[in-house]
Structure 1
Amino acid sequence: MKFLRAVRLDDSDDQVFLASAKAGEPVVAGSFLWAFSDEDPAGFRGRRLNAFRSGFLGTVDFGHCTLAAVGDITDLEYKQLIERLAQYMVDHYGAPSLVAALPTARAEAEFAAGLCDRDPGHFIALEREVVLGEISESYRSIDPGQAWQHDSTPVFRIVADDANAEDPTHD
């Protein structure tokens, strides 16, 4: 199954978000963060504002990333991320129980999977804003095979960095 995964082209996500998603981590739009929050996005500043405006939500450590890429996920990973999202909603957003949170978590995962109607490797970016008191989201697809080349020579390529996976000092 296709699903969104965090992309880390550099360490800028570490600078703009309170916590950043790890490269390759499955991510969702995270719309529930703002829908269930008692906070008014108009009062957000700094890193919180950056997460609101353009952050996908990681489903492992719940950090944010600016870009996601269409990738693959196993059925087991998909089921586990829904359960983690539901538990996160209970622990941090007042859902009364895991059972009550599961439909919202499932909807969040289904929405993320629905953004993956492109070839693997496509980048997806999101932009959030408040329009007439409502949160509005828009998504943009970037084909790295077309957008990131100059004279048919790739400018850069994504490299999985497993070296930092177990390093507790690396965010």
Structure 2
Amino acid sequence: MQKLARTIRLDDSDANIFARPAESGEWAIPGGFEFSNWSEADLAGKARQSFANGWLSLDSFGRATLVAVTAIEAAELEAVTRRLAEHFVTIYGAPDVDTALPVAREELAFMQELCADHDPNVLLLVQRELTGTGVKESFRAITPAEAEIELVAIHGGPDTPDGSV
């Protein structure tokens, strides 16, 4: 069984923190390549949030905080790979899809490696930091049994302006 991950929304926070939020259910990869030429000056507002912990969806090319591991069929994986290659042509100036396909395959193979040792429905988080040598990514897995709601949701009450209880 091949695995990949889909974006997941447990609340509406992604819609508020990302300039282009992904919809729930989109295939996703880390997408750190988007930040390869960034500097501290680029890390402001919603762009900072996308950089710090956003997964790149492969439908809308929006960002999501969480992804969940799931199975993917070979034909669907090939379609997603092609869509990413087309994105490389349109957004990053790759000369053509055939030239971009090997890079797209590498990106998806990396994501499959991240998912390989996890059961379906395990949640994955990405964290990025800008270092002197470039972007450093780290990943964390949360199994559904160990997920505490405080890890992924903000609770509030109607009686306080900031929503705290």
Q: TM-score range by the shorter chain?
A: 0.7 to 0.9
Unaligned runs of 5+ in 2: 154-165
Equivalent positions of 1:45-56 (< 5 A) are 45-56=44-55
Q: What is the rounded CA distance, in whole Å, between the counterparts of 1:34 and 1:84 in structure 2? A: 20
Q: Runs in 1 of length 4+ with deviation above 4 angstroms?
A: none
Q: Give the CA deviation at 1:41.
A: 4.8
- RMSD over aligned Cα, in angstroms? 1.6
Is the CA contact (8 Å cut-off) linking 2:39 and 2:130 kept in structure 1?
no
Number of the residue aligned with 2:101: 102
Q: What is the rounded CA distance, in whole Å, between the counterparts of 1:29 and 1:44 in structure 2? A: 17
Q: What is the rounded CA distance, in whole Å, between the counterparts of 2:110 and 2:82 in structure 1? A: 16
1:76 is matched by which residue type in structure 2? Answer: A
Q: Give the CA deviation at 1:74.
A: 1.2
Q: Give the CA deviation at 1:22.
A: 1.3
Q: What is the rounded CA distance, in whole Å, between the counterparts of 1:41 and 1:86 in structure 2? A: 28
Give identity over the alignment, percent. Answer: 37
Equivalent positions of 1:1-171 (< 5 A) are 1-35=2-36, 38-116=37-115, 117-148=117-148
Distance 1:113 1:41, change over 3 A: farther
Q: TM-score, normalised by structure 1?
A: 0.81
What is the number of residues matched between the two proteins?
A: 148
2:49 is matched by which residue type in structure 1? Answer: N
Is the CA contact (8 Å cut-off) linking 2:128 and 2:137 kept in structure 1?
yes
